[in-house]
Amino acid sequence: MTESIAFQARGVRKQFPGVLALKDVDLTVRSGEVMGLVGENGAGKSTLIKVMVGALTPDAGSLEVGGRVTTVPDPSSAARLGISVIHQERQVAPHVSVAENVFLGRLAPGRGPLRWSDIYERARRRLEAIGLDVDPRTPMKSLTVAEQQEVEIARALTEDANLVIMDEPTAALSQNETEALFKVIARLKERNTAVLYVSHHLEEVFRVADRVTVMRDGQVVGVYETKSLTVDSLTGLMFDRDVSSLERSVRSSARAHRGEVILKAQGLSVGTSLRGLDMEAHRGEIVCITGGIGSGRRELARCLVGAIRPDSGEVLVQVNGRAKRVHSPRSALMAGIGFIPADRKREGVFLDLDLVDNVHVSKSSLSKNPLIFPAVRSREVSSFVQDLSIRTASLRTPTKQLSGGNQQKVLMARLLCINASILLLDEPTAGVDVNTKVEIYQILKRLAGEGKAVIVLSSDLTEVKLLADRVLVLRRGTVAGELEGDAISEERILKLASAD
């Protein structure tokens, strides 16, 4: 192993509105080394990667690639510098051949007609280099997910590849496929390529990484030889033990009295994402559901609100002593389930429409009355806007002009407006500033205190620990374990989420 430095970031700083996402971050990856990058959600890992590949411009700091100081103004210049990313979602063209995917976007360097025999030959060599035995003529879509990912790695391995970043690469892989990926990584090391391995799965990091960079709150906590660490010492480094005063104020609010079961999911199965999952939620409690990517969290949320129909199993809600089955978002709303999706902009708010339309949409959709007068709607909406202290110029302001935190509150107002008895929130504080975060926590606590069932899906373990009366940890489509009260801790959750 040579000691030459493939990639170096120095003093990288990135400010987002209300959040300092990266504070003077240093990162060094040597050639032929696998560097692990760990940290809880919001620690700044993805921001750092975005800076490295030119998707974000840093406010300060410098990047060095192959020993030369450089800037990465956009993703295409990152590719030119030999930096490539393997994302957790596949970035492939499924309908064309493997060879075309290997050379996606740069099929032929010169002019003139394509020489297919040459392209196939070069693709074959690339695939051999990482030990993937696939005919380059095969259509991409006939490959397994893991093979497709290896084709992506082959794409990354240009002659001048300096650094391959793998962002949660095993999220969609089975155990065997993960083993195959590790073999590919070993080959990359032999070729003296630098690898940055980003993962929530600590045992994977221990398997492949030579060194680990730990991030917390936008800062690098430290760089450690993997050999010198244990899972426990690493989790200790990842999480800040110090509970801030704001968090204490949330925690000190009284635990609500747990009431009767109001929502019940039985034997939910969806493809390979959910495998016969059972769960229930009581009135007056906050249930947090957590688990890594690929644990089935997203699919569970979709099933609970009827946005996807499970292959088997059902979701039942107690309404006035009768069990109602959920089969569509509309029926879920009528049964009293209010949902706030994780992707606020894509699935939550109507950016072009004003606050009144955004808050009132569910109520008016469920209303029997065909006429709704703007004055009535405004009046109904304004009390919730005040109640949740949504900061806006007026009720007529288009939602796109509000901050992320206020947009999130608009969605909460929508649920309060229909007086939902079950609130289901997917990543409720993603992209929300710290103050609003605490406000949202306090609102959720209050709502649970009023006898509503609050279900929070979250990958933010600090948040889970702060909010949850009960935690369900998902792994591979089932509930891997349940923690309650004082038994809830980040270490236990992580162990349940990753144990095999």
Instruction: Choose one: 40-48, 111-119, 312-320, 350-358; the region binding another protein (CB under 8 A).
Output: 350-358
Q: How far is CA 187 from CA 32, 34, 87, 154, 172, in A?
A: 10, 11, 19, 11, 21
Burial of 178 (0-12, 13-18, 19+ CB in 10 A): middle
Which of 159, 245, 320, 373 touches another protein by CB under 8 A?
Answer: 373
Q: How is 152-166 classified by DSSP, letter by letter? A: HHHHH--TT--EEEE
Instruction: Choose one: 116-124, 126-134, 214-222, 368-376; the region binding another protein (CB under 8 A).
Output: 368-376
Site for another protein, residues 270 to 309, rule: CB under 8 A = 305, 307
The secondary structure element, H or E, covering residue 422 is strand 422-426
Burial of 336 (0-12, 13-18, 19+ CB in 10 A): buried
Distance of CA 350 to the CA centre of its chain: 22
Smallest separation, CB 82 to another protein (Å) = 33
State which residue, 78 or 335, has the beta carbon closest to another protein.
335
Question: Is residue 337 a contact partner of residue 319, using CB atoms and an 8 Å limit?
Answer: no
Question: Is residue 181 a contact partner of residue 146, using CB atoms and an 8 Å limit?
Answer: yes
Which of 16, 77, 361, 462 touches another protein by CB under 8 A?
Answer: 361
State which residue, 235 or 406, has the beta carbon closest to another protein.
406
Smallest separation, CB 324 to another protein (Å) = 14
Task: Convert residues 377-416 into a mask of x (bound to another protein by CB under 8 A) and - (unbound).
Answer: -----------------x-x-x---------------x--
Smallest separation, CB 420 to another protein (Å) = 11
Residue 102 near another protein by CB under 8 A: no
Which of 120, 339, 384, 441 touches another protein by CB under 8 A?
Answer: 339
State which residue, 65 or 415, has the beta carbon closest to another protein.
415
Smallest separation, CB 354 to another protein (Å) = 8
Q: Give me 221's structure tokens.
A: 């906590």
Smallest separation, CB 297 to another protein (Å) = 17
The dihedral sign for the CA sequence 233, 234, 235, 238: positive
State which residue, 336 or 405, has the beta carbon closest to another protein.
336
- Counting residues that bind another protein (by CB under 8 A) gives 36
Residue 352 near another protein by CB under 8 A: yes
Distance, in Å, from the CA atom of 263 to the CA atom of 324, rounded to the nearest integer, reads 10
Smallest separation, CB 382 to another protein (Å) = 13
Residue 349 near another protein by CB under 8 A: yes
State which residue, 44 or 404, has the beta carbon closest to another protein.
404
Beta-carbon contacts of residue 212 (< 8 Å; ≥ 6 apart): 35, 36, 37, 38, 205, 223, 224, 226, 229, 234
The dihedral sign for the CA sequence 279, 298, 426, 382: negative
Q: What is the DSSP letter of 354?
A: B
Q: How is 20-84 classified by DSSP, letter by letter? A: EEEEEEEEEEETT-EEEEE--TTSSHHHHHHHHTTSS--SEEEEEETTEEE---SHHHHHHTTEE
Which of 66, 329, 451, 481 touches another protein by CB under 8 A?
Answer: 329
Residue 427 near another protein by CB under 8 A: no
Smallest separation, CB 358 to another protein (Å) = 8
Beta-carbon contacts of residue 109 (< 8 Å; ≥ 6 apart): none
State which residue, 164 or 337, has the beta carbon closest to another protein.
337
Question: Is residue 414 a contact partner of residue 377, using CB atoms and an 8 Å limit?
Answer: no
Q: How far is CA 68 from CA 65, 161, 468, in A?
A: 5, 15, 48
Which of 223, 351, 451, 490 touches another protein by CB under 8 A?
Answer: 351
First to last CA, the chain: 32
Smallest separation, CB 18 to another protein (Å) = 23
State which residue, 84 or 364, has the beta carbon closest to another protein.
364
Question: Is residue 52 a contact partner of residue 19, using CB atoms and an 8 Å limit?
Answer: no
Beta-carbon contacts of residue 248 (< 8 Å; ≥ 6 apart): none
Smallest separation, CB 406 to another protein (Å) = 16
Smallest separation, CB 289 to another protein (Å) = 18
State which residue, 218 or 348, has the beta carbon closest to another protein.
348
Residue 370 near another protein by CB under 8 A: yes
Distance, in Å, from the CA atom of 384 to the CA atom of 10, rounded to the nearest integer, reads 46
Which of 124, 155, 360, 445 touches another protein by CB under 8 A?
Answer: 360
Smallest separation, CB 341 to another protein (Å) = 6
Residues in the site for another protein, rule: CB under 8 A? 305, 307, 328-330, 332-334, 339, 341, 346-353, 357, 360-362, 364-367, 369-374, 394, 396, 398, 414
